[in-house]
Amino acid sequence: MKSPPWPKGRKLVHLDLKGAPPRVGYLHRLIELFSQLGLDGLLVEYEDMFPYEGELKLLQATVQPAYSREEVLSMQEFAKCKGLEVIPLVQTFGHMEFVLKHRPLWSLREVAHCVGTLNPHREGGVQLVMEMLRQVVELHPGLNTLHIGADEVYMLGDGDESKLWLASPGRTVEQLFLSHVTKVAQAVKEAWPHMSVIMWDDMMRGMSPDTLKASGLVGLVQPMLWDYTPNLDVDTTVSLLEKYCSAGMSDLWAASSFKGSTCVYTCVPSTQRHVDNHVQWLQVAASLSAAVNLQGIAITGWQRYDHLSVLCELMHVALPSLAACLQTLIRGQFSAEAQSSVTESLGISSVEAQAMGRTSADDSLFPGRRLAELTVELDSLLNSEDIRFFDNNMYVRGWFSSYHRQRKTVTSLITMQIHSQALTYLTTLQEKVAAVREEMVRLYPESTAEEWIEEHVSPVVAPLQRITDDITARLNETQP
């Protein structure tokens, strides 16, 4: 079903830099593509890749170097030249794992064993997030819009100080959340009166309009409602946005997804899944009352579910999905014409990464295409049943089980066949992994390649390697 195209408002792409941060040269090539695809801005979540200074220098990444001040400024200048606005996202309440994991800051956690949630009662907590914001704003000259996060504030109210606060009659966890966010938003407005402040909406979804009105938050923030599912509930989403509007928050944002929201360890995205999400968002936008002032949509591309989780799909392999989602927003549906626009602009034969092929030799159309092809090929190998379940196949279970190995009753003829097949698979995988590694380090830090291979390849290779090593040892024992 065709919907009206996305209404007036900015179309942002989310750059989640807390995993697989692109090398600067690749980042510039991506920005160029984003501009060509029709995006209006970047929602940049730096986390530990920002060059914090002074007492906050401990927040910088140690596995790979954070971007330098010069690199952050050059990225903004390049984006500006391409017509893209840069909006930084700095978490100020929940998902502060990259901050609160550091021992000197442990005392600022809401609960000792919850690494991500800031204690809202400690004055040092507000001072910390305001210093983080100050450094980020200072390194973004001319900044007009700032995202302060505030999603998924887990275990809020479970800390000792929160329990004491909540013991007073009439106080609720909702009020506890709102008081902290309001304090941060007010401090931002005092420091930078011109600044528009965006925040995630999920912690407010169950709140009444009266609760929101009484918080003092109205007029300070623009909620960004996120939903990444392909079967997004249109009526419920419209009702939520209308509720925020009725509470006085008429300036609102949507947030969709082009990658990083299917499964915490997905390697290759399903374009159709993300297109379906955008089709639903178009229906939401078309159903809103005129009172809702939709500021735009952020097309998120999560690199990790949180700072401490594994890598999701990397940017290079998700570019067809991003292009398809944008065409859906621009055209009101993902028609045959939209598909052709994507495949022609990227020089590929299919919008699904698993079958994208190539129709052009020009890699500049699709920065990182060679790595995307190799990633898809390797992912297909890793997920083939013959390889993934090799140690559970008929021959291994039938003639080289742990029972046989313990009693040394293995059959040499069949185990040699098992050995030969395992070696063939190992060699094929090792060759493909070497090619992926070589290409990946051109676009991402060495640490990204190491992590990706350790997480996705090693668990599959290890059983094959154990079997070949075991058979080799046993064959050597039987040699005269």
Catalytic site positions: 152
Closest C-alpha among 334, 232, 243 to residue 288: 243
Report the first-to-last Cα separation within the chain, whole angstroms.
74
CA distance 453 to 248: 49
Residue 450, Cβ neighbours under 10 Å: how many? 14
3-state secondary structure at position 200:
strand
CA distance 453 to 459: 9
- Tell me the two tokens of residue 291: 């009172």
CA distance 198 to 8: 18
Whole-angstrom Cα Rg for the chain: 25
Which residue intervals of 14-89 are DSSP H helices? 24-37, 69-81
Specify the pairing of strand 222-226 against strand 196-200: parallel
CA distances from 80 to 47, 71, 299 (A): 22, 14, 19
CA distance 458 to 350: 30
What is the length of the chain?
480
